[in-house]
Amino acid sequence: MIPMQLFITQGIKDSMTMTQALAQVRKRPLNKKEVSRKEEDVITIDTYSNSLTVHETKLKVDLTEYVDRHEFVFDSVLDDDVSNDEVYRETVESIVPAIFQQTKATCFAYGQTGSGKTYTMQPLPLKASHDILSLMHYTYRNQGFQLFVSFFEIYGGKLFDLLNQKRKLCMREDGKQQVCIVGLKEYRVSDVEMIKDLIERGNACRSTGTTGANEESSRSHAILQLVVKKLFEDKESKPSRVIGKLSFIDLAGSERGADTTDNDKQTRIEGAEINKSLLALKECIRALDNDQVHIPFRGSKLTEVLRDSFIGNSRTVMISCISPNSGSCEHTLNTLRYADRVKSLSKGGSKKDAPQALASMRESSPGPPPSNLDYSNGAASKLPRFGSKQIAQDDYLSSNIDRVPSAREVLLSSHFNHIEEHSRISLRGSDNDLSEEGPEQGKPLGRNKGTAPNVCSIATLGGTRTRKTGSQTLWNNIPEVNGKVPDALDGLDALLKVWILLLLIYFLEFIYYA
């Protein structure tokens, strides 16, 4: 057994050096239905290199079959024989100690309906709370830390408390633009059994339904939060303060319109609402990836709740769940491209200048830095955050949330939009679901990150490379922008220099002849 102290030190060390956002992928085994339909497993995994390959069967114009291979590399890739214990070790275990260091950590599962999100997510909070309680008991003994549990769902754009008879909740922002869920019941817990009971109670209340792809499909986004608070000695005058938070989000499954034809009206309405919120989440990820000044967190209840996970002192683990069968190939590719986008958020350096990077920061956790992290030697900058764009500044940001963009920003975005629109007209495909294919909204072209149709993506630790393309030439023809608007003032500047030079020559001639 690893001594607890060693585990903690290792955990904190890891949290200082690890990437800010982890993108992990889990493949589930073929299920009975797929086996009976004789569907093939089209995903191969190389766990040593954390890479996976999707073997997509396609038809040529002469109707002969060929296999298109799509390769991806992620922070970790979990094969179909990996147990839930291993999933915990690979994903959440290392971020648990960070929540005692004023960090907001989030683990969310994303993927097609029936791909194993609930199967993956359900055991994680219990294992994490076991570790949190151990830390409180051994390392942070007598320091006034307490653990609280809350569990709610977002269904049809509304919030419901799963631990309080599904009472409707409302969400508000406080003066510091922190999201507060009014009326959410929090339970103080001191042992794992209590937490287990609460989780079971909450799961039993979740909105589920039957879809074409999953008999017991989650029709809501379920959010379970473990909050560590610190009690002040003088309890009378001050309430307990939130130290850190670990949220587990089991997202409802993404589905295409084509998958929902055999569903009833209610299921289709639910599906539309789910897709809307997942699209809003995607828009936020895109905006963060593009260093955009405005991050559209208000696009849905889900993104409003998730705001904490994308800003300030936060850690995020995204577990992408994928189905291995050939029929889910298109879905699987969409999920992997989505995951790749999340991964690139934490890996790439800021592409814009400092003020722009500062402007894209939103907020940071309140309160002084934790005592055992040395911020003076740059530790703060090494602290993992979601998105490399965040440069620990506290107060600057609160005023920047959802603000009106400046004239220059409008100019910048209209310039990008123009190019984007141009490319969209050129490349527009027929599919209007949540597909990642084609040029992406808000994404300046020429940055070699988007995947045009027929482009095979290779996600690498340094970013995404694209190879083999039919339509990629279109992208290459569009002038590279790289976040810089051709500035009219640059031209004026040059003209002025010429005039000064002419004046100087004229002046020298005048002196010479005089």
Ligand X SMILES: Nc1ncnc2c1ncn2[C@@H]1O[C@H](COP(=O)(O)OP(=O)(O)OP(=O)(O)O)[C@@H](O)[C@H]1O
Residue 209 or 384 having the CB closest to ligand X: 209
Residue 255 or 363 having the CB closest to ligand X: 255
SS3 for 85?
helix
Q: Is residue 272 within the footprint of ligand X (CB under 6 A)?
A: no
Given candidates 24, 102, 113, 364, which one binds ligand X under the rule CB under 6 A?
113
Q: Is residue 205 within the footprint of ligand X (CB under 6 A)?
A: no
Separation of CA 121 from chain center: 16
| Listed ranges 64-72, 209-217, 310-318, 326-334: which one lies at the site for ligand X (CB under 6 A) | 209-217
List, as residue ranges, the binding site for ATP: 111-118
Residue 342 or 357 having the CB closest to ligand X: 342
Burial category of 391 from C-beta neighbours within 10 Å (exposed 0-12, middle 13-18, buried 19 and up)? middle
Closest CA to 45 of 91, 90, 79, 87: 79
Closest CA to 318 of 104, 20, 71, 30: 20
- In the numeric block, the tokens 């009219």 are attached to 488
Given candidates 5, 10, 29, 499, which one binds ligand X under the rule CB under 6 A?
29
Given candidates 25, 128, 136, 321, which one binds ligand X under the rule CB under 6 A?
321
- Nearest residue by C-beta to ligand X? 253
Say how far apart CA 203 and CA 222 lie, in whole Å. 9
Q: Is residue 267 within the footprint of ligand X (CB under 6 A)?
A: no
Residue 212 or 405 having the CB closest to ligand X: 212
Residue 147 or 321 having the CB closest to ligand X: 321
For residue 261, the minimal CB distance to ligand X (Å) is: 16
3-state secondary structure 99-155: HHCCCEEEEEEEEECCCCHHHHHCCHHHHHHHHHHHHHHHCCCCCCEEEEEEEEEEE
Separation of CA 333 from chain center: 17
Q: Is residue 277 within the footprint of ligand X (CB under 6 A)?
A: no
Q: How many residues bind ligand X (CB under 6 A)?
A: 18
Q: Is residue 214 within the footprint of ligand X (CB under 6 A)?
A: yes
Cα→Cα distances 367→106, 148, 157, 313, 358, Å? 20, 20, 32, 12, 20
Q: Is residue 260 within the footprint of ligand X (CB under 6 A)?
A: no
Residue 7 or 88 having the CB closest to ligand X: 88
Closest CA to 102 of 254, 312, 259: 312
SS3 for 418?
helix
Q: Is residue 341 within the footprint of ligand X (CB under 6 A)?
A: no
Q: Is residue 323 within the footprint of ligand X (CB under 6 A)?
A: no
For residue 221, the minimal CB distance to ligand X (Å) is: 10
Q: Is residue 111 within the footprint of ligand X (CB under 6 A)?
A: yes
Tell me which H or E stretch contains 330: helix 329-347
Given candidates 94, 102, 115, 332, which one binds ligand X under the rule CB under 6 A?
115
Say how far apart CA 24 and CA 90 lie, in whole Å. 9
Q: Is residue 228 within the footprint of ligand X (CB under 6 A)?
A: no
Burial category of 306 from C-beta neighbours within 10 Å (exposed 0-12, middle 13-18, buried 19 and up)? buried
Q: Which sign does the torsion angle of CA 154, 158, 163, 166 carry? A: negative
Say how far apart CA 398 and CA 273 lie, in whole Å. 29
Tell me which H or E stretch contains 109: strand 104-111
* The two structure tokens encoding residue 422: 């141009």
Q: Is residue 324 within the footprint of ligand X (CB under 6 A)?
A: no
Q: Is residue 119 within the footprint of ligand X (CB under 6 A)?
A: yes
Given candidates 76, 129, 207, 218, which one binds ligand X under the rule CB under 6 A?
218
Q: How many CB atoms lie within 10 A of CB 289?
A: 21
Say how far apart CA 305 and CA 285 lie, in whole Å. 14
For residue 139, the minimal CB distance to ligand X (Å) is: 33
Q: Is residue 28 within the footprint of ligand X (CB under 6 A)?
A: yes
Contacting residues for 42 by C-beta, under 8 A, at least 6 apart? 54, 55, 56, 57, 324, 325, 326, 329, 332
160 beta partners: 153, 168
| Listed ranges 106-114, 123-131, 354-362, 454-462: which one lies at the site for ligand X (CB under 6 A) | 106-114
- In the numeric block, the tokens 């060929």 are attached to 66
Given candidates 20, 24, 129, 217, which one binds ligand X under the rule CB under 6 A?
217
Given candidates 116, 324, 439, 444, which one binds ligand X under the rule CB under 6 A?
116
Q: Is residue 252 within the footprint of ligand X (CB under 6 A)?
A: yes
List, as residue ranges, the binding site: 111-118
Size (the chain), residues: 514
For residue 373, the minimal CB distance to ligand X (Å) is: 36
Residue 217 or 290 having the CB closest to ligand X: 217
Say how far apart CA 69 and CA 51 lie, in whole Å. 12
Give the HSE-up count for residue 312: Cα atoms under 13 Å, Cβ half-sphere. Answer: 28
Q: Is residue 253 within the footprint of ligand X (CB under 6 A)?
A: yes
| Listed ranges 25-33, 129-137, 298-306, 344-352: which one lies at the site for ligand X (CB under 6 A) | 25-33
For residue 32, the minimal CB distance to ligand X (Å) is: 10
Q: Is residue 221 within the footprint of ligand X (CB under 6 A)?
A: no
For residue 136, the minimal CB distance to ligand X (Å) is: 30
For residue 90, the minimal CB distance to ligand X (Å) is: 13
For residue 366, the minimal CB distance to ligand X (Å) is: 35
What residues make contact with ligand X under the rule CB under 6 A?
28-29, 31, 111, 113-119, 214, 216-218, 252-253, 321
